[in-house]
Every structure is written in structure tokens, then in C-alpha cells.
Amino acid sequence: MRGCLFILPVQISRQQALHTNLHLLELENHAEVFNTAISEFFESKAEWTFSHKINGRWENTYVPIQKVPAAKQILNLATRAASRVFGKSLVCVQGVEHLIKDSFWFNVMEKGQSTGWHNHKAKAQASGVCYLQIPNNSGEFQYRDNEGIVYQHIPQSGTILLFPSNLNHSVKNSNSDDVRLSLAFNLYTLPLALDPEDDPFGGNLFF
């Protein structure tokens, strides 16, 4: 990572199961890696691409993994943890061209912005979000069970949420003047059985 040596690897200090098979991971030794990932992300702005815009906000910001190498440690940690939590061998496909190059992305949220109800890719087995920079009052994570009961989680920097990819979730309006930044990802099992007509990113939106 640009010649930077991380003496202490990021580790999970605490794990907690929440409703609807959602799992919270609290991390330690994360500050240096997170700060590097944040810097790499903003320095790579010329490489940013986007998926779709809703209410004036780009929902997903994609960056080649080569431009944000610090994210590798985060994604690898999350993948190992999700494999244990969900009892299956999972992978995060990082930058494999012509396969699934967009299995991770950044979420940038400014004051007054939100993310509508949705779930993730039809072919993914698990998903998650790592909270890199979460100012106070910058939007609660909402999720609901199969009966429509809505739960809320107040995210904090230095944590990861893991959940089944079909979990319906959203993010409430940010009331912070500071930028909210997270790293989201989808995890898959191998082999990936995709038909030529398949859209591996065909999750469901409920706006």
C-alpha cells in the first residue's frame, strides 16, 4: 500500500447477532487502514464510475481495486468473517474483468441525502457494509423482516454489518454537514453459474 507497512492488522474485537440474521462486527486496529482507504478513494476521483442516480445522488461509486488497495484488507477480513457466520465458503470478486468486477463499491452521502429501500444482487449469497467515516446524525441503517417489521441500527465508524443479500434495507436522511462514507460489498460462492443473459447485479429496488 504505497510502501506503508501496517504493523497491526485489522481484527474483530466483538461480534453480535442482530435481528433477521444481521451481524455486527466491531473492529480494532482499524484507524490506519481506514484513513488510508479514505485517502485513496478521494485521490482516485478521476477513476470513479457510477451505477444509477436517485433523487440527485449517485447510489454506488465504483473504483478499481488497484486504486484503493487498502480496501483489500477490509474486504478480505469481511469475507472470512461472513464465511464463518453463514457457514459457507464465500469470495469477494475484486476486479476480475468480464466476471463480476463490481462486487464492491463506496457509498458517499452528504447532508439531506438518503438511500431508498432495496436488496442486493440476485446471485450473491451475502452482503455487507463497512463504515469508514460516519459523522453523528448521518443516517440510520434500516432493515425489515419478512413480515415487514422495520428495525433501525445507528452505524458507527470502525464497524461492519453482514447480512443475507435478500435483506431489504435502506439508509435514512443524513443531517450531518460532514460526508458519510462506507464500503459495501457482495459475496459469492464458487463456481459462479451465470447464464449469458443473466444480470448478476439484478437486485430489487423499492423506491
**Helices 70-86 and 31-43, interaxial angle, to 10°?**
120
Its pTM stands at 0.88
Residue range of the domain that includes 17: 13-187
Question: Grid coordinates in use for 181?
Answer: 462514507
CA atoms lying within 13 Å on the CB side of residue 24: 15
> Does residue 193 lie within any of the structural domains?
no
> Total domain count for the chain?
1
> Does residue 133 lie within any of the structural domains?
yes
> Does residue 200 lie within any of the structural domains?
no
Q: CA 164, CA 128: separation in Å to the nearest integer?
A: 8
Phi and psi at residue 81, to the nearest 5°? -65, -45
> Does residue 122 lie within any of the structural domains?
yes
169 pLDDT higher than 50: yes
> Does residue 201 lie within any of the structural domains?
no
Q: Which residue has the higher pLDDT, 161 or 56?
A: 161
> Does residue 206 lie within any of the structural domains?
no
> Does residue 85 lie within any of the structural domains?
yes
Sign of CA dihedral 65, 85, 206, 150: negative
Question: Grid coordinates in use for 7?
Answer: 504493523
> Does residue 182 lie within any of the structural domains?
yes
Sign of CA dihedral 62, 68, 71, 72: positive
CATH number of the CATH domain containing 148: 2.60.120.620
Report whether 19 contacts 148 (CB < 8 A).
no
Q: What pLDDT, in 10s, does the model give residues 59-101?
A: 899 999 999 999 999 999 999 999 999 999 999 887 554 445 5
